[in-house]
Amino acid sequence: MRRFKKQKGFTLIELMLVVIIIGVLATMAVVKFGGRAKEAKVQTAKGEIAGAYGTALQLFEIDCGKYPSTEEGLGALKSSSVKGWKGPYIKSKNFNDPWGSPYQYKYPGTHNTDDYDFYSFGPDGQEGGGDDITNWSDQ
């Protein structure tokens, strides 16, 4: 007479429970960390405004004796015929914020009358609304 050995392995119910538990954990992680993407983009924009672009504009001003005009815009950081230009001052391929909209630059500034205004319209892509990220206010 032949005996059957008890096979070792997982039953379908056990596998289904594991899949459900993984699904619940994944859902909790997405809910918990889902808002972090927006926060990360805001922090990136703040860092670029104060850091990378701010530094590039300062270096341009040191070398050329003035900030780029509104008409020259941020493109002057990559190429310019201004006397004293020693750039490029930034390697950015475009001048877009983390949401894909162009950064806004004005010199002389409206808010910083002795300096430049540099800002992003923020997540909504429109001026105002309280989500703009600027170089003239602490947000």
User: pLDDT of 21-40, one tens digit each?
Assistant: 887 888 777 767 766 778 88
H or E element, residue 53: helix 53-64
pLDDT, tens digit (0-9, with 9 covering 90-100), for 93-132: 889 999 999 999 999 999 998 899 999 999 988 888 788 9
pTM of the model: 0.72
Q: What is the pLDDT of residues 66-90, one digit of tens each?
A: 999 999 999 999 998 999 999 899 9
117 and 110 Cβ atoms separated by less than 8 Å: yes
Say whether pLDDT at 139 is over 70.
Answer: no
pLDDT for residue 44 is more than 70: yes
| Structural domains of the chain, ranges and CATH numbers in brackets | 36-84+97-130 (3.30.700.10)
d(CA 49, CA 57): 10
